[in-house]
Structure 1
Amino acid sequence: MSTEVVATSVVSDAQQQSPSAPTQQKSVEKVNLLGMSRPQMEKFFEDMGEKKFRAGQVMKWIHQFFVTDFAEMTNISGKLREKLEKICEIKAPEVVHKNYSKDGTRKWVFRVGDGEGSLVETVLIPAEHRSGLRRTLCISSQVGCALDCSFCSTGKQGFQRDLNQAEIIGQLWMANYSYMEDVPVLERERSVTNVVMMGMGEPLLNYDAVLNSMRTMLDDFAYGMSKRRVTLSTSGVVPKIDQMVKDIDVALAISLHAPNDELRNELVPINKKYPLEQLIAACQRYIAKDGNESSRKHVTIEYVMLDGVNDHPEHAQQMIKLLKNLPSKINLIPFNPFPHAPYGRSSRNRIISFQKTLSDAGFVCTIRQTRGDDIDAACGQLVGQVADRTRRAEQWKKKVAAKNEILRSQG
């Protein structure tokens, strides 16, 4: 099979995996190997007439030594390197903005797509842990988000498109490379210890690309991450949670934010389609898998604390009732305000009181430490400042302004 036919075939496969990816117009356009999972890359090499073990070799160079130049792949024949150079590339998304906080938090804004493209964010948060320094990377899966949660900056920017596998894995690649770019190739090592699919977008609405990307994160030929250290966070797309049971074993987190349907309908509109009873049942099915090595021993519950909205004592009691039969750990998240946000952050005393109620009921309940405030590290904030091209944000700001005007006229 000719190299041009191979390139055309792989590009076609990539388009099927990511339907919203830009249409490839030329068969000679280079194939980006960065986002390929091992099975995809093995097929690619076999279609080239090469042994499939070459896939593992190339993946190690890309994801463990962060090499983008085929000439540096010294255990591959010169002839194959020349062939790869002609039809392939290893290309991460373009960094258009980066900011490193004084507390160690790092944030990137990436341009994805052709031309001016679109922008997504990635945040890396370091923390001391009993096992050593932990670096957790929060990865985006979509440009914007269609779910429009009322407290979320990303939701106010509207939805543009899904990210493809190279754009998802490229965030992890760049975060690791940021620590290794001045280190000799053979001395480089992976620095990111944990990944959370919790950035811009709803990952379960970009299922195939996210699934294959997580498989690459777990792959020993790539990042070799423990399945307990890869977490998918969802607002509650119930059918896809059930599909994950069959497809992959990673940790699951639920963006809950309200303990009853009435309030959650307001804060997380997808709850109208998949209400709490259905969501909790899906979580129970997800962790029902047997086996000591499974990462599905519990579900992490994420709960943003909004002043006067979801932080009352009765909300804590409702949480206890809601989660009583679901093995879970609760993470209380102080709200990170953004311009024109209609909410405020709950007071420290209110958050601690909420935590105590849940802890006294037997739940493991932690309060997330706020990090990166000096670099707008809350998801979606920086993109909203760098380039907000949607009408949704404009309309939302007008709505907030009108509501404030009514309150002033009444008071």
Structure 2
Amino acid sequence: MGGNVDCRQCTRWPGPARHVRQPCQADFATIDRSGRARQGRDAGRSFVKSGEELQADCPTAPPRRTRAHRDSLGRRVGRRQPVSGRVTSAVRSQGHPGMPGEPVRVVVFDPIPPEEWSYDVEAGILAARRVELVLPSGPVATRQEIRDADVVIVTGIRPLDGPTIRTLRRCIGILCYSIGMDKVDGAAAAVAGIPVRNVPDYCTEEVSDHALALLLAAERRLTAFAELAASGQWDVVGRPENESIRRLRGQTLGILGAGRIGSKVARKARAFGFRTIAFDPYISSTEDPEIELVPLPDLLGQADALVLCASLNDGSRGLLGWNEFAQLRPGVILVNVARGALIDEAALAEALGSGRVGLAALDVRSPEPPAKGADPLAGLPNVIQTPHIAALSREAREDLRRMAGEIVLQMLESSGRIPSTAVDQTA
């Protein structure tokens, strides 16, 4: 569920990308038919093909009668016996165009285990429009179910790759159950003519808050002093940490990716007195006049602290490597709340050892979890880590479920798979 997301770079960054305003960055956008992310002020806005592009409306069959009952949210839904290998959670639909009686089906690719997550909210939203939500029981059932799915929801447990996308026979949309869109093969989806969308707004407050929490913990060397206090050591006079702590006001914060999350990080950081600059090759201006857009080399040379809010794509992978770390001011603070693969971790380990990076505060790694025995950052005293939890809050979970259900309905309406509820203002 990467949302726990969210998102860019030097001359390597621009190129075939699926992100823009967001993503994770992290700020993301959607994929159009060419496979490229939309840019500029429209970046991050959802794009779905029109009904003419996908399929014209046609008569649909009446809904199949079912015995009604109420789900855990009190909504009336139909009850059906689960088919082997899946769990259904809505009534029989009005039918596919040209396939009377067949349900409109939304299939979750690798559902999050039921002991960890509930899809009741999405099921209720879809059931109200006679759309069936299918939760396959395992990988084999998933392969079977998604072939005839109208919409596929990708949780991020496994990537939805090209070969799998090519098995989709009537899919009109793919929804990333997150801000990040790096778990879907965007090029394959574009070739298949299937739009890809994300849930861009559900956790922007949480991720930007977490970025500030990591930044402040790193600046104040909080974890080191907390461990000393917990062990009963209160005499900290002369400790090396004392000399490395600086006043926040007046420092320059460099933000990589000035999308939804990056912009919020900048605004919140200024409350502590930071000057904010950003690098984002997809925009020429921001709505925030206090964010100065600069080239990447300028950002690296000016920043006292860096926060990564960029999406992960082919152009941004390894955004910070040996060359980029060499351009930093000595002792810079590095925070990453986007994607772990934006950083070359071997290069980061060397920069941490040399003092070029004073402290790294990371919510994301690559891979996750780090491989035991092959983690270049293992045991380093100047690394703070959290296990990809930046997006977590009760409100964010509620928003993700609601927004996901609503976006799926938008995709189905735009394709003509279900009737539109839009009111004609000209009538």
Which structure is higher in helix share?
1
Do the two structures share a fold, i.e. TM-score over 0.5? no
Question: Which is higher, the Rg of structure 1 or of structure 2?
Answer: 2
**TM-score w.r.t. length of structure 2:** 0.25
**TM-score w.r.t. length of structure 1:** 0.26
